[in-house]
Amino acid sequence: MDLSIGGFLSILLVMLIFIVPILWMTSAQFRFRVKIALYGVCFIASTTIGALISLPCGRTPKNHFRMFRIFEYSTFWMGTKFELRNMHYTESDKPFIIIANHQSVLDVLSMSHVWPKNCVVLLKSSLRFVPGFNLCTFLSNSIYIDRFNKAEAHKSLAKVADAIIKENRKVWIFPEGTRSSNGSMLPFKKGAFVIALQAKIPIVPLVFSSYKNFYDMSEFKFDY
């Protein structure tokens, strides 16, 4: 029996209507992957829209706030609440370096609630290929660093120190260099400390408390 494209799509739609709810109710891994995918879509959409809105403003750290606000609104479905403590340390108009622990992709949402004025972020070079995000970071004066090329890495660090001195910038750095898979702190790279010494500015440590009570990739847990 020949099956038309319309008939095939109808059968597929019926299967999805029945199968997706069953998987959602019975599979933690399915729920986890759907939520992570939705979070990723929100992130890419927010950075892309934020970048397009920021184009008339040129390159400025202020563009971070446009993307962050859009991202916060787009992730309303998570219902995440934040408790901020001792944030007066980040409200200074003077330059400083923020070093923060890096747990997961959820850190971006956490960053949006504590981002200081006139701040740029140091990013690994591979992120420059993420669509939408790369344009957003370009317009926000973010600085990429190639961790596997020492000569280029030193140039990037010198560029950061120069920007701090000339433009009174603050810099956000994840000194671990990558996300921790088990929640423990990884050894710090020395880049943040090199910049602090070159620019003669203080380091402000910022800690995101553990997400384990609602997010755990190893257990496919993403509850909110």
* 119, amino acid identity: C
pLDDT band with cut points at 50, 70 and 90 for residue 164? confident
Is the model's pLDDT at 1 over the cut of 50? no
> What average pLDDT is seen over the chain?
87
Per DSSP, 178 falls in state: S
Cα–Cα separations (whole angstroms), residue 126 to 131, 135, 143, 144, 148: 12, 14, 12, 8, 11
The dihedral region occupied by 42, where left means phi > 0, alpha psi between -120 and 50, and beta the remainder, is alpha
Cα–Cα dist 160/165, whole Å: 9
Parse the chain into domains and list their residue ranges.
Answer: 26-208
Stretch 54-67: mean pLDDT, rounded? 94
Residues 102-144 pLDDT 10s = 988 999 999 999 999 999 998 888 888 888 899 999 999 998 8
Q: Do 143 and 160 touch, CB atoms closer than 8 A?
A: yes
Is the model's pLDDT at 154 over the cut of 80? no
Q: What is the pLDDT of residue 181?
A: 62
Q: What is the pLDDT of residue 182?
A: 64
Residues 3-27 pLDDT 10s = 577 667 777 787 778 888 888 899 9
Q: Are strands 221-222 and 215-216 parallel, antiparallel or unpaired?
A: antiparallel
Cα–Cα dist 48/53, whole Å: 9
Q: What is the pLDDT of residue 61?
A: 93
Q: What is the pLDDT of residue 205?
A: 94
Cα–Cα dist 211/173, whole Å: 20
